[in-house]
Amino acid sequence: MISLTLNGEDIQLEDNTNIEQLLQNLSLKNKRLAVEINQQIVSRSDFNTHVLQDQDKVEIVQAIGGGSID
Amino acid sequence: MSNTSSDQKLVIAGTAYTSRLLVGTGKYKDNDETRLALEASGAEIITIAIRRTNIGQNPDEPNLLDALPLDKYTLLPNTAGCYTVEDAVRTCKLARELLGGHKLVKLEVLGDEKTLFPDAIETLKAAQILVDDGFDVMV
């Protein structure tokens, strides 16, 4: 198992989990979102090859309504 | 006298717009209300924000981008809520990734939590970084 931070929460994953598998586990596969690992954006085309590492900091973001301070 | 007739197009980053109204997408009750309000406004440019996805709470929650006819609008990601150059630049880069290479952004680096006035110096620094990276920046 590996331990990492996902959107500020500590989680554990099986070894050799890639981003696509993580998104599938979260029921977020094929959603419009962007993923950042350790402050580096990962292209969608690399989701199925980028393997998550122990202590990674993962951020998953999406577009929401906005335009000023909420 | 300059031509101020209403048929004069507004051109931003090479795209001509009929409407000069920019509309936000926050504060609405739901995506349906957002869509109807945007239709009624006639606006062609709409602002959006980039935020963390809620993990595990409601994965089937309708996504704003899925709810709007995106071919009708120019999306304008904005950096509201960013207090540092790094955070503003990061938000714009995430927006570009999220929107498939989209370059137009609305930038501000906030300077004061009470008044929400932007910090002009920091905003300029962020703008320089973004322009150098190929973004079209509105401030």
pLDDT digits 0-9 by tens, B112-139:
999 989 999 999 999 999 999 999 999 9
Q: B88 and B109 in contact (C-beta within 8 Å)?
A: yes
Residue A35 in tokens: 């993923």
Residue A43, helix vs strand vs coil: coil
pLDDT in tens, B40-84: 999 999 999 998 888 876 666 777 887 788 889 999 999 988 999
pLDDT given for residue A20 in this prediction:
96
User: pLDDT tens for residues A10-47?
Assistant: 999 999 999 999 999 998 988 889 999 999 999 999 99
CB proximity B28 to A under 8 Å: yes
User: Phi first, then psi: what are they for B8, rounded to 5°?
Assistant: -75, 125
Q: Which long-range contacts (CB under 8 A, 24 or more apart) does B113-117 make?
A: B113/B83, B116/A69
**Phi/psi-derived region of residue B94, left when phi > 0, alpha when psi is between -120 and 50, beta in every other case:** alpha
CB within 8 Å of A10: residues ≥ 6 apart: A3, A4
Which DSSP helix (H) or strand (E) runs through B128? Answer: helix B120-132
Is residue B125 among the annotated active site residues?
no
Sign, Cα dihedral of B83, B89, B90, B93: positive
SS3 call for B94? helix
Judged against a pLDDT cut of 80, whether residue B110 lies above it is answered with: yes
Sorted by sequence, the CB contacts under 8 Å of residue A20 that are 6+ apart come out as A29, A47, A48
Q: Rounded to an integer, what distance in angstroms lies between the CA atom of residue B44 and that of residue B52?
A: 26
Q: Which residues of B fall within a CB distance of 8 Å from A9?
A: 55
pLDDT at B5: 57
- How large is the average pLDDT for residues A49-63? 96
Q: How far apart are CA B139 and CA B109, in angstroms?
A: 10
Q: Which residue has the higher pLDDT, B67 or A67?
A: B67
Nearest CA in chain B to A31: B63
B51 in Cβ contact with A64 (< 8 Å): yes
> Distance (Å) from the C-alpha of residue B106 to the closest C-alpha of chain A?
9
A57 in reach of chain B (CB within 8 A): no
- Which residue in B93, B103, B106, B125 is the catalytic one? B106
Q: What proportion of chain B, given as a percentage, has pLDDT over 70? A: 91
The predicted structure's pLDDT at residue B66:
79
